[in-house]
Amino acid sequence: MTPKAGGGRPWGPIRAENLAARKLAEALRRHVDDSGKTLATLAPEVHMGKAQTGVYLAGTVPKEAFIVALIRATVRPDLRQRRQEEALALREQAMRPAPRTTPGAPVAAGPGAGYAVELAAAQARQIETYDRYTRALEQRAELERAKNNSDKLVMVLLNMIHQLNRRLNDLVKERDQLLDRPRSEALEDAERKLARAEEQEQRARAELRRAEEKQRQAEDLEARVTDELRRLTDELDRLRAGDTTSPLDTLPALPDEPEAGPVSADPVGDDIDAVLARASQVNDEDNTTLNRLSSELDESTAGVVQDNPPDNPADLADRSVSAASPLPGVPDEGQGAVRALLRRSPAPDLFVRFLAEATRWENVQVHGIKRQNAKSGAPLDYSGYLRLRRQGSRFGGFAYVYAERSSINLRLHHTHEQLDAIGATQARTLVTGHRAYRVSIDLTDEASLAQALLLATFAYDAT
């Protein structure tokens, strides 16, 4: 196998027809290595696809324009002219190899038994690198789940702390009004509720601190995994350069998994206890996941030459309605109808941001509605409302969403007290419509969007 000069990621074997072609491929590879660029980064700079770039770097004599572009992209300005002349001279020799004149003189190296051995070793290395790539994808999926859990917990706990503070003020007033009735059952009940609410508020703040720390830790680890995936992708590109018999064609994508939560009896206090218990459980699970992945990443990146830093990812959190970008999750056949509804909506951007977040969850798909008496195979109707479904669950749907009025109906049966207890103060209960969808919320501001997403996670987890 042809190693990278100075260590780091290796290359696949060079399949050259003569010695000059081999020296040219080795020289071009050195320039790529010295630049620190990946093949994916380099390909557009040399106006060539990644696969064809790999072919030229594996021993096929390239066109003159390719050599000039590669030198310009990889060599610093003060050395470009000299390196270009050297490379073009090697190309000229490779195109017109000198004939052998002396009997017994060595022939310019072409593909043979040595190449076959190098190719077998490179393909074995491809499989080993592919295994590491697959594990890195699994790590990224686990980190995404941990980060999403922390994001949801922060939103839940912030709302809960706000509601607990209000509840504490109300319980203090209730207790003070009963102070003139010492030892009464009502006073004792008020004091028990007050003590419990104070303890819940302390627990909520402690879980909030943990969830925020998990957010930061997951973001750091996610950046490391992303860098590892880029490094392994480039390593596979190098090992497969010019290899038409590679055992690897495509790279895998891996799914996520959700979870569910408990229910309690007391109208307000027990409901808060249930959410706090879940917050603590998720924080514990994420802590274990993040610590394990941190250890694995420390081991996998030890002694590795780091590549260029990744580009900043696009921020999708503030996605707004635009004629250029498709509505998140909405099938092509429904884009026009939903966009027309949003033009009459009081809060189109909030609605699109709700869709953007909800459709990131595992197996969530947006569907239109089957028209009454519609024939088999007829297109779905997107002109009224949309249905968010969790594919593979026994219930399927967990929300009906109305683009025209930016309203969300959820598959929940919460009471007013339960909604207030979890901070969903802008939500309302329904007594008409589908019997399973008894909670609704209108998107009017940032707080309503946060509450709608919170309730949607509960409905999603319950389906």
59-115 pLDDT per residue, tens: 889 999 999 999 999 999 989 899 999 999 889 988 887 665 555 544 444 455 565
**In the predicted model, is pLDDT for residue 283 greater than 80?**
no
pLDDT number for residue 306: 42
Q: How many CB atoms lie within 10 A of CB 26?
A: 17
**In the predicted model, is pLDDT for residue 279 greater than 80?**
no
Q: Which of 9-23, 125-139, 263-277, 402-416 has the lowest mean pLDDT?
A: 263-277
Average confidence (pLDDT) over 405-413: 94
Average confidence (pLDDT) over 295-306: 57
Burial grade of 414 (CB within 10 A; 0-12, 13-18, 19 or more): buried
| 12 close to 238: Cβ distance less than 8 angstroms | yes
Average confidence (pLDDT) over 107-130: 62
Show Cβ contacts of residue 457 under 8 Å, excluding neighbours closer than 6 positions: 152, 361
| 357 close to 326: Cβ distance less than 8 angstroms | no
* Banded model confidence at residue 453, pLDDT cuts 50, 70, 90: very high
List beta partners, residue 411: none
Average confidence (pLDDT) over 120-129: 70
Q: Are strands 407-410 and 439-442 parallel, antiparallel or unpaired?
A: antiparallel
pLDDT number for residue 316: 33
Q: Within 13 Å and on the Cβ side, how many CA atoms surround 142?
A: 20
**In the predicted model, is pLDDT for residue 223 greater than 90?**
no
Question: Look-up: residue for tokens 């040595």?
Answer: 114
Q: Where are the alpha helices (DSSP H) in 178-257?
A: 185-239
Residue 396 — left, alpha, or beta (φ > 0 → left; ψ -120 to 50 → alpha)?
Answer: left
Percent of the chain with pLDDT over 70: 74
Average confidence (pLDDT) over 293-312: 52
pLDDT number for residue 317: 37
pLDDT number for residue 54: 79
* Type of residue numbered 278: R
> Average per-residue pLDDT in the chain?
78
Tokens for 295?
Answer: 């250890």
Q: How far apart are CA 380 and CA 330, in angstroms?
A: 12
Q: Where are the alpha helices (DSSP H) in 39-98?
A: 39-45, 50-56, 64-74, 77-95
For 323-378, write each residue's pLDDT tens digit.
557 899 999 999 999 999 999 999 999 999 999 999 999 899 999 988 777 777 78
Average confidence (pLDDT) over 267-279: 62
pLDDT number for residue 100: 54
**In the predicted model, is pLDDT for residue 284 greater than 80?**
no
* Banded model confidence at residue 118, pLDDT cuts 50, 70, 90: low
Query: Is the dihedral angle over the CA atoms 7, 11, 15, 18 positive or is it negative?
Result: negative
**In the predicted model, is pLDDT for residue 225 greater than 80?**
yes
Collapsing DSSP to helix, strand or coil, 399 comes out as: strand
**In the predicted model, is pLDDT for residue 437 greater than 70?**
yes
Average confidence (pLDDT) over 203-229: 85
pLDDT number for residue 256: 39
12 or 398, which is more confident: 398
Q: In the structure, how many helices (H) and strands (E) does the chain have?
A: 12, 6
| 398 close to 392: Cβ distance less than 8 angstroms | no
* Banded model confidence at residue 277, pLDDT cuts 50, 70, 90: low
* Banded model confidence at residue 231, pLDDT cuts 50, 70, 90: confident
**In the predicted model, is pLDDT for residue 32 greater than 80?**
yes
Average confidence (pLDDT) over 278-297: 68
Collapsing DSSP to helix, strand or coil, 439 comes out as: strand
Q: How far apart are CA 439 and CA 419, in angstroms?
A: 9
Show the CA angle centred on residue 398, arms to residues 395 and 399, nearest 5°.
145
Q: How far apart are CA 341 and CA 269, in angstroms?
A: 41
pLDDT number for residue 334: 93
Percent of the chain with pLDDT over 90: 25
Q: Which of 1-5, 166-170, 281-285, 387-391 has the lowest mean pLDDT?
A: 1-5
**In the predicted model, is pLDDT for residue 315 greater than 50?**
no
